[in-house]
Structure 1
Amino acid sequence: MKRTILASASFLTLAISAHATAQTGQADIQPPARIDGLEEIVVTAQRIAESAQRTPIAIDVIKPEELTRQGVTRAEDLSRTSPALSAANGGGANTVFFVRGVGNFTVNAYSDSAVAFNYDGVYIGRPTSTSGTFYDLERVEVLKGPQGTLYGRNATGGAINVIPRRPEPGVLGAEFMASYGSYDQIIAQGALNLPIGDRGAARFSGSYAKRDGYNSDGTGDQDEYAFRGQLYADLTDTLNVRVAADTSHQGGAGGGAFYIGQYNPTFGPSGITGYSFTPSGFSPSDGLHDVRSENYLASRFVGQAGRAGERLDSYPYNDSTFWGVTTEINWETDAGTLTVQPAYREASLDFSFTNAGMRSGRTREDDQQFSVEARWAGKIGPSIDYLLGGMYFDEDIKGRNVQFSQFVLTPFQTFTTNTDSYALFGKLGVAPVEGLTLTAAGRYTWDKKRFNGLSDTYILFCGNPAPPPQDFCPTLPFMPLVDNAAQLRAFYAARGIPTSNIPLYVLPGFVPGTPFVLNAPIPINDRINNSKFTYRLAAQYDFTPHNMVYASFETGYHSGGFSFARGLSSYSPETIEAYTIGTKNRFWGNRLQVNVEGFLWKYHDQQYSQFGFDLGTPPATVFLTRNIGESTIKGVDVDVEFLATPTTLLAASVQYLPTKYDSFVFFTPNQGTPPNTGCPFTPTTQVINGTTVSVFAVDCSGKPAFNSPKWSFNLQGQQTIPLGDNKIVLQAGTRYRSEAVALPDYLPYGNARGSFVSSASVTFSTGSGWYVTGFVNNIEGNRRLSFATNNNSAAVVVGNAEEPRTYGIRVGGSF
């Protein structure tokens, strides 16, 4: 039925496209108007086309030329463009987003991202499906703060809106860009716009990006292609339809990592008292599969297996395909404008990653989503405007074989999960007196989720893993790389090693040194129903057509999800309250732009993932997500643009972000060794289903939020040198991020150090629209840490780093 609806809309458009005219309708985006001074940028963050300078919300707008200059081809590249945004590859096709310290590290299929990603007006449910969208764009909008009042799914941190260029009726034209650079990087993008009669158009665009790996083991490479096709028809003077379809493929090895160092226990009279850290001496370019790195891992002692480690003997890969189709219908009447947008998307995921220091983390998963959104926007007299709408979102995910193979632990996960989300929303704007606008917006959301799956977990165990006394099993084979649990059982049975269906750490006494494989199958069949009313209240006062102040209060909500944990198989939503005050201004004949925003966020019930006991009988150790933590996030954003001369443009964006967890206490299992954390902890006990278990209470209150540097700024300069009909454009810029927490355990060696990353380019362009550019990015060669993790099996710390210095040449043009 879903496909039939979309196919019918597509057929309708094709059948009448010969009668099409120029675009109309409130949802249409007109090209930015060029006026004397600074450029005016049109955004649709509030579901209407309006100037960014007239929009009373916190938003960063990234223009297509900036995306090209920064080499943005994937979602994680966006962190180069916005001081508030942190984006990093989470392994395979996964992307992890944080906005001003709000986000989540979980990248599995049974949790939602805290930062919404919207492509062409369609909410993308999986952070694995953000690939293949960054080409032929109108702009990218980064909205800071809780979202979901007017569109999309709810999000506590913010939203990323990726908005493609649309077909232009009456225009026959093409444009292209191709570049070649270091690491044999090739990027090619092109677009073709074709008029259809006098009343419509088609637009076809594509992208290809390929490069060798940044790291010594070949990881950190790129091999992607994407294609998008659109048809637009103006059926009548008041009715228009646009149909868009896209597909993309992600290949290559994907993101890589390096060993930051190792931690070893320190001993006192009563046993282990803590841990000492020894740096590895490796650089971010020394990938995990480099010979030296493999030998480093093989030299580590794995206490649970009672033997030295061994090489990873696996290699990551991506082989994932994505496609989707959407139809946008706009009907303009004297009473208002109706917009309806159904959409359908699929993803077929097949990837393996090792950048967490795991032997192999393989995912084979099928995702399907269908959504439809309807909006009615109108006015009542000259001083009241309103918007009413509704949305339905349905997502079905099938995890065919998801495994995270490690030396001593391998879960084989199969599952199905479904989300049905319904929402009604509206906005009312009133202008009681000249210059003053009051806005109230609200949304009621119903989320229904179902989860049915099995995590068949196998754990290698050599007697007593914690000294003293330490058991040793020097010939015990580590977990092999196999496709299913039956193969793993057969592997150990052939070697005379039994498999026991008893949860870990609750075993009776074992003969010291006798190895076992422990099997802890965890079946979960659960459902959750969440509902929430969120709202936004705002006031805006325009002193002049170019100067205004605004203030707002809004609430946010991020749905709950699931874990493979008995008795704790689901967790609750997280919420946020955001206070904002700001001003947007143009001075000196539209040559100076100064925007200032102050914000205060209160973040509640943060969803945090860590090891803990479930509520089984007896309790088992599992990796689960819980609601913990209350934090205060506050700060100031300042954005300045200055057209110093008609040919000299200067820009600066500065964010000051002091964050603090007001309450952040969680419990980890006490297995005889203290937790490796930078937070204070206290041993205690808990009673779970009549069983007393030993735990540590870890208190990270007072610590800063994750991925939230206190200081962030971007500085840009552009000088144009006219040469008759031609010109030379010189560009230079730098971005700075101060120290930030990249390792959730708050250990100092897991912090991203403060660093500058600068870029420069020289462009020669002709009056006929052709150009050639020489560029260099990350002049300093700083590879800032973007994410870090503790690999507890081998007691090593693994880090993911940003890209190194790159340079190249870019050519392009339009005709």
Structure 2
Amino acid sequence: MNTAASCAALALALAATPALAQDTANDEAAAEQEGIGDIIVTAQRTATVSQRTPLAIDVIQPEELTTQQVIRAEDLSRIAPSLAAVGGAGGTTSFFVRGVGNNSSNAYSDPAISFNYDGVYVGRPSSTSGVFYDLQRVEVLKGPQGTLYGRNATAGAINVIPNRPEIGEQSVDFMLGYGNYDWLTGQAAVNVPLGETLAMRASGSVSRRDGFMTDGTGEQREYAGRVQFLYDPGTDLTVRVAADYSSQGGSSPSGFYLGKVDPVFGQTGFQRYDFTPSGFSPDQGLLDPRSAAYVAQRFVTNAGRTGVVIDGQPYNDNEFWGVTAEIVYSTDAGTLTVQPAYREASLDYVFNAVFREGASTEEDQQFSVEARWNGDLGDNVSYLLGGIYFDEDISATARYNQNTLTPFQNFETGTTSWAGFGMVTVRPVENLSLTAAARYTDDKKRFDGLSDVYILFCGNPAPQQDFCPTLPFTPLVSSAAALRTFYANAGVPVVNVPLFALPPIAGGSQTAPFVLNSRIPINATLSNDKVTYRLAAQYDFTPRNMIYASMETGYHAGGFSFARGVESYLPEQIRAWTLGTKNRFLDNRLQVNLEAFWWDYRDQQFSQFGFDLGNPPSTVFLTRNIGDSTIKGLDLDVQVLPTETTTLSANVQYLDTSYDSFVYFAPNQGLPPNTSCPYTPTTQTTPGGATLNVFAIDCSGNQAFNSPKWSLNLDARQVVNVGPFDMHLNAGTRYRGASYSSADYLPYLQARPNFVSYASITFADHDETMFLTFYVNNIENSRRLIGGTATSTGLIVANAEQPQTIGVRLGGSF
């Protein structure tokens, strides 16, 4: 499929829409509840019907969350074809929508998607778990949301919307499940009337299971609870107050060794890099004895020895809580909504991946208040005015032990942001709506911290001299002072200048081991402001058939990295054009939605392991602006009810992505970079004025990260009446095409195409007050690759999707 064919297909669909709409005009008298039901969304900050909302949006219903075992934010990618969500250390989740996103995994970089829980923007990607229970729905807004959601929404927005208390209703809902890996899941909710004007809703969830890895890592120990009070006296004022708490235990999966990379030399010197697969299964963790023997054989040039160990014990000890109030005052002139909120997170976690041990502690506090006014000017003009204030403070420590390189980080950072926004919709003639919206955002960020970096050397870094079989690797200690003491007792000096660079009279030596210490202080501020906007048009052929077009811009604030010479990065921007149509046909039994999009992505931020401009350079996790890209494609969503008891649905997304410019740098230390992208030798200047030999790596023209060309979800549901109960048969599959998540574009790090299918059978009484479900997920036991990173020993550490899971669920409503 090429661009011309894609546009032609959309044009034919749009051209056919008026005729099809005319054919179904006589059916509009049918009851709205017959056929496919309407879904109410609040994606535009007001309640609208999804099918009549001119936005690219995926609405995920509670039953889908249950079927796909959605416990954490990364689990959403199993449902929404446009979304790639990858879990990281300490509960951190990285989001990509159609190739737009960021691998944020630390406290000093922001996600590129706006995650909103119960109407509150959540600033930390580590604070997006513990909320997926007792929900009305989850909305995934695709594309920049630069006006109503604002900053850090270049990729889109995820809105998690809980069920709310209901006045005068008493109810109990529960679900309890058990499956392989000793997986226990449970949810419960109670709605209690407290008089005629007050109601309370309390709910909670639990998920406990063993790890998928052979070393026991990746286990879940998660608990969450929420309580809400709603006051509704039946007048113009309603007040809802909510509080929630969640605890995350267990650990992150350690990963597995995908294989090893070794340089190959010939008579003329370096020839190529060879990759040798390990042959290990995706569930063989790094702490498995077989994995330990594999890494222990690798020679580490810096340390002049073999015997690397991965022995840090992963764990999570994370807590999250928050409170919010929603005050709604309705008048004849309009409706005022005010929502103040406060959230805290306390994190303490250890993980492995490419590290002997990575660890972090973090304290996060955020306060926000948002106010909106919705109103109408006559019958043909509606408007929204709003403002938001957001303040975030973070205090954190971190250490990343890589056997020969260990930074100890201690920092405080924060953001103060405010924005004003407005939207107006005008209906100049019947069935035509024109919308204009704009937002002004002012961001001020601050960072004050120190990264104390230690690099172990056997001697002058030449292979024939580096041989120190008893030199101890960097120990598992929690502070720089403890590391210094350890090496002082071992007789290894800690110095600021390499020993081999000093004359003998100053203690220099070409062969003596030493630890090189460098300090990276950052005390800086950033100030960004931006105007973003949206223009849209919608035409309704009938109440069930419409087309829409829009152009919207988005903005993602800049930030900081602990990296010499590249301490900060610029904001990124995106401009998106969308043309779509939403339709219902055949007495409301066929739904066809089609969307075409073209995104222009500028100054894209990308976070990954790389090298700073120190002398010598250090391996760091940094965010940088890697260039520009063009993203275009089609999204087709079809749902059909061939009978009253049969539901079939399909969602297909086609993506054509390409980096228009994408250049980054790697140190030139003799060997060329291991990448499939072209590279050329050049130089860079360090902050101290020294010249570094580097390679400029040009990946322009490559596919965007986490953006498979084809994504497909197919689902089917059949209800069979069997005497006193109904039998619900559910089955489906999802397909994801090949994609990359790392900037080297190596073939063995490509996520291969795969199908992942599920099936379930549910027995329920006719009123569905009780149900019993048997399920199997990932029938194929297909383990798609989730990223991969090279360690200092030349081994590739990767993760994979969840294995096959089977189980049973029992639930009911009273």
Query: Which residue identity is paired with 1:253?
Result: S
In 1, are the aligned partners of 2:677 and 2:699 still within 8 Å (CA)?
yes
- Alpha carbons of structure 1 residues 431 and 780: separation in structure 2 relative to 1, 3 Å: same
Q: Pick from 423, 427, 442 the counterpart of residue 427 of structure 1.
A: 423
Q: Which residue does the alignment assign to 1:780? A: 780
Q: Which residue does the alignment assign to 1:663? A: 661
Q: Pick from 393, 397, 400 the counterpart of residue 394 of structure 2.
A: 397
Query: Which residue identity is paired with 2:773?
Result: T
In 1, are the aligned partners of 2:615 and 2:692 still within 8 Å (CA)?
no
Q: Deviations over 1:654-674 (max 9, x none)?
A: 000121111101111212221
Query: Which residue identity is paired with 2:719?
Result: T
Separation in 2 of the partners of 1:282 and 1:126?
Answer: 34
Q: Pick from 444, 447, 450 the counterpart of residue 446 of structure 2.
A: 450
Separation in 1 of the partners of 2:623 and 2:266?
Answer: 33
Query: Which residue identity is paired with 2:368?
Result: S
In 1, are the aligned partners of 2:786 and 2:798 still within 8 Å (CA)?
yes
Q: Deviations over 1:238-263 (max 9, x none)?
A: 00000000000000122331110000
1:701 lines up with 2:683 in the alignment: no
In 1, are the aligned partners of 2:770 and 2:813 still within 8 Å (CA)?
yes
- Alpha carbons of structure 1 residues 783 and 705: separation in structure 2 relative to 1, 3 Å: same
Alignment of 1:201-600 (within 5 A): 201-235=199-233, 237-269=235-267, 271-354=269-352, 356-399=353-396, 401-467=397-463, 469=464, 471-502=466-497, 511-600=509-598
Separation in 2 of the partners of 1:43 and 1:508?
Answer: 72
Q: Pick from 645, 651, 672 the counterpart of residue 649 of structure 2.
A: 651
Shift of 1:158: 1.0
**Worse-matched range after superposition: 310-319 or 496-505:** 496-505
In 1, are the aligned partners of 2:211 and 2:219 still within 8 Å (CA)?
yes
Q: Pick from 138, 141, 151 the counterpart of residue 140 of structure 1.
A: 138
**Worse-matched range after superposition: 455-464 or 614-623:** 614-623
Shift of 1:316: 0.4
SS in structure 1 at match of 2:482:
helix
**Worse-matched range after superposition: 99-108 or 364-373:** 99-108
In 2, are the aligned partners of 1:503 and 1:520 still within 8 Å (CA)?
no
In 1, are the aligned partners of 2:110 and 2:152 still within 8 Å (CA)?
no
Alignment of 1:95-114 (within 5 A): 95-114=93-112
Alignment of 1:679-758 (within 5 A): 679-688=677-686, 690-724=689-723, 726-758=725-757
SS in structure 2 at match of 1:388:
strand
SS in structure 1 at match of 2:291:
helix
Separation in 2 of the partners of 1:615 and 1:409?
Answer: 16
In 2, are the aligned partners of 1:636 and 1:656 still within 8 Å (CA)?
yes
Separation in 1 of the partners of 2:608 and 2:211?
Answer: 31
In 2, are the aligned partners of 1:459 and 1:504 still within 8 Å (CA)?
no
Q: Deviations over 1:340-365 (max 9, x none)?
A: 000000000000111x2211110111
Separation in 1 of the partners of 2:704 and 2:137?
Answer: 29
In 2, are the aligned partners of 1:462 and 1:471 still within 8 Å (CA)?
yes
Separation in 1 of the partners of 2:621 and 2:717?
Answer: 49
In 2, are the aligned partners of 1:503 and 1:620 still within 8 Å (CA)?
no
Shift of 1:465: 3.5
Shift of 1:93: 1.8
Q: Deviations over 1:248-297 (max 9, x none)?
A: 00001223311100000111445434311000000111111111011111
Shift of 1:464: 3.7
Shift of 1:76: 1.0
Query: Which residue identity is paired with 1:691?
Result: A
Separation in 2 of the partners of 1:106 and 1:325?
Answer: 25
SS in structure 2 at match of 1:752:
coil
Q: Which residue does the alignment assign to 2:771? A: 771
Q: Which residue does the alignment assign to 1:17? A: none
When normalised by structure 1's length, the TM-score is: 0.93
- Alpha carbons of structure 1 residues 283 and 506: separation in structure 2 relative to 1, 3 Å: farther
In 2, are the aligned partners of 1:305 and 1:465 still within 8 Å (CA)?
no
SS in structure 1 at match of 2:88:
strand
- Matched residues, percent identical? 63
Shift of 1:200: 2.2
Q: Pick from 78, 82, 87 the counterpart of residue 76 of structure 2.
A: 78
1:51 lines up with 2:49 in the alignment: yes
Separation in 2 of the partners of 1:611 and 1:776?
Answer: 37
Q: Which residue does the alignment assign to 1:183? A: 181
Separation in 2 of the partners of 1:555 and 1:338?
Answer: 26
- Alpha carbons of structure 1 residues 507 and 258: separation in structure 2 relative to 1, 3 Å: farther
Query: Which residue identity is paired with 2:410?
Result: T
In 1, are the aligned partners of 2:348 and 2:361 still within 8 Å (CA)?
yes
Query: Which residue identity is paired with 1:694?
Result: N
Shift of 1:787: 1.9
Separation in 1 of the partners of 2:725 and 2:574?
Answer: 51
Query: Which residue identity is paired with 1:384?
Result: V
Query: Which residue identity is paired with 2:51?
Result: Q
Shift of 1:190: 0.2
Separation in 1 of the partners of 2:498 and 2:544?
Answer: 66
**Worse-matched range after superposition: 306-315 or 621-630:** 621-630
Shift of 1:613: 6.2
**Worse-matched range after superposition: 304-313 or 189-198:** 304-313
Separation in 2 of the partners of 1:455 and 1:798?
Answer: 25
- Alpha carbons of structure 1 residues 619 and 318: separation in structure 2 relative to 1, 3 Å: closer
In 1, are the aligned partners of 2:229 and 2:242 still within 8 Å (CA)?
yes
Q: Deviations over 1:733-766 (max 9, x none)?
A: 0000011103332111111110000000000001
Separation in 2 of the partners of 1:373 and 1:502?
Answer: 52
- Alpha carbons of structure 1 residues 431 and 812: separation in structure 2 relative to 1, 3 Å: same
What runs of 5+ residues in structure 2 fail to find an aligned partner? Answer: 1-30
SS in structure 1 at match of 2:748:
helix
Shift of 1:405: 1.2
The alignment's C-alpha RMSD in Å is 1.8
Shift of 1:807: 0.5
In 2, are the aligned partners of 1:461 and 1:516 still within 8 Å (CA)?
yes
When normalised by structure 2's length, the TM-score is: 0.93
Separation in 1 of the partners of 2:632 and 2:500?
Answer: 42
Separation in 1 of the partners of 2:473 and 2:617?
Answer: 25
In 2, are the aligned partners of 1:466 and 1:672 still within 8 Å (CA)?
no
Alignment of 1:157-168 (within 5 A): 157-168=155-166
Query: Which residue identity is paired with 1:283?
Result: S
In 2, are the aligned partners of 1:43 and 1:51 still within 8 Å (CA)?
yes
Q: Deviations over 1:632-660 (max 9, x none)?
A: 11110000000010011000000001211
In 1, are the aligned partners of 2:93 and 2:104 still within 8 Å (CA)?
no
- Alpha carbons of structure 1 residues 508 and 100: separation in structure 2 relative to 1, 3 Å: farther
Q: Which residue does the alignment assign to 2:3? A: none
- Alpha carbons of structure 1 residues 771 and 493: separation in structure 2 relative to 1, 3 Å: same
- Alpha carbons of structure 1 residues 466 and 52: separation in structure 2 relative to 1, 3 Å: farther
Separation in 1 of the partners of 2:684 and 2:550?
Answer: 43
In 2, are the aligned partners of 1:410 and 1:458 still within 8 Å (CA)?
yes
**Worse-matched range after superposition: 266-275 or 692-701:** 266-275
Query: Which residue identity is paired with 1:289?
Result: L
Shift of 1:582: 0.4
In 1, are the aligned partners of 2:109 and 2:623 still within 8 Å (CA)?
no
Number of aligned residues: 779
Separation in 1 of the partners of 2:36 and 2:258?
Answer: 45
What runs of 5+ residues in structure 1 fail to find an aligned partner? Answer: 1-32
Query: Which residue identity is paired with 2:696?
Result: A
Separation in 2 of the partners of 1:328 and 1:576?
Answer: 32
Q: Which residue does the alignment assign to 1:28? A: none
SS in structure 2 at match of 1:446:
strand
In 1, are the aligned partners of 2:346 and 2:364 still within 8 Å (CA)?
yes
Shift of 1:610: 5.0
